[in-house]
């Protein structure tokens, strides 16, 4: 009898100081806002019914703060294995880092702005495309994370909008052309049941209001 595959739970860090200001953050280390800390605790409450066996997260402080709040709520701090990896870090926004998104939109126009934000292989000066994020995050998912799920463990990933979008593209088998439609909103929890290849068989969405 095949072992049942574990659940994959994915959470994006909530509001950071630069999110609140509308600035592209990327590799910059900024903290959660007071509201962000509150939403992290509420996301912890929202997954109380799920057993978590293993955690993977990025190395950036806003994600670490999110995870710490979640684990405190679940009384799991220091009680389950955690692995940090920079491959789950946010997309490098290069020359756009620290700039106001809405001012850039006025400069480049709505169509180009959406391509910069959501396009699959849209170059940013001295930064990364989503494809580049995919090329670092998905191999790690397949080699390091998926084996835990196949062993029957429930895995929590806490990461960033774009590293999560890259994982969603693989998990949900989204075409390059449709990648711009993938969204990972704040205060949203994804819960996947996967097949042996790490593709989605079922997806549950929990939204924190």
Structural domains in the chain, CATH included, are 7-207 (3.40.50.1240)
- pLDDT-derived band at 48, boundaries 50, 70, 90: very high
pLDDT, residue 143, reads 98
HSE toward the beta carbon, residue 81, CA cutoff 13 A:
8
3-class SS of residue 139: helix
Sign of CA pseudo-dihedral 209, 141, 126, 122: negative
pLDDT in tens, 118-145: 999 998 999 999 999 999 999 999 999 9
Residue 141 and residue 169: Cα distance in Å, rounded?
12
pLDDT, residue 185, reads 93
Please tell me the pTM assigned to this model.
0.96
Residue 102 and residue 78: Cα distance in Å, rounded?
40
Residue 185 and residue 74: Cα distance in Å, rounded?
23
Residue 148 and residue 78: Cα distance in Å, rounded?
19
Residue 181 and residue 10: Cα distance in Å, rounded?
18
90 included as an active-site residue: yes
Q: Which of 15, 65, 69, 90 is catalytic?
A: 90
pLDDT in tens, 3-38: 799 999 999 999 999 999 999 999 999 999 999 999
199 included as an active-site residue: no
């Amino acid at each position: 009898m095949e072992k049942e595959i574990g659940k994959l739970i994915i959470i994006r860090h909530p509001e950071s100081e630069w999110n609140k200001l509308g600035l592209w953050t990327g590799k910059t280390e900024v903290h959660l806002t007071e509201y962000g800390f509150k939403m992290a605790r509420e996301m912890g409450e929202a997954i109380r019914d799920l057993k978590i066996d293993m955690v993977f997260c990025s190395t950036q402080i806003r994600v670490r703060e999110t995870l710490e709040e979640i684990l405190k709520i679940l009384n799991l701090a220091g009680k389950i294995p955690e692995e940090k990896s920079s491959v789950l870090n946010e997309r490098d926004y290069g020359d756009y880092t620290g700039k106001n998104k809405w001012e850039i939109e006025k400069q480049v126009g709505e169509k180009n702005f959406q391509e910069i934000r959501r396009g699959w292989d849209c170059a940013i000066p001295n930064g990364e495309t989503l494809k580049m994020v995919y090329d670092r995050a998905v191999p790690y998912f397949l080699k390091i994370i998926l084996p835990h799920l196949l062993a029957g463990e429930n895995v929590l990933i806490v990461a960033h909008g774009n590293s999560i979008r890259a994982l969603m593209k693989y998990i949900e088998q989204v075409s390059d052309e449709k990648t711009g439609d993938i969204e990972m909103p704040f205060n949203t929890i994804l819960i996947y049941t996967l097949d042996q290849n790490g593709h989605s068989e079922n997806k549950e969405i929990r939204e924190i209001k």
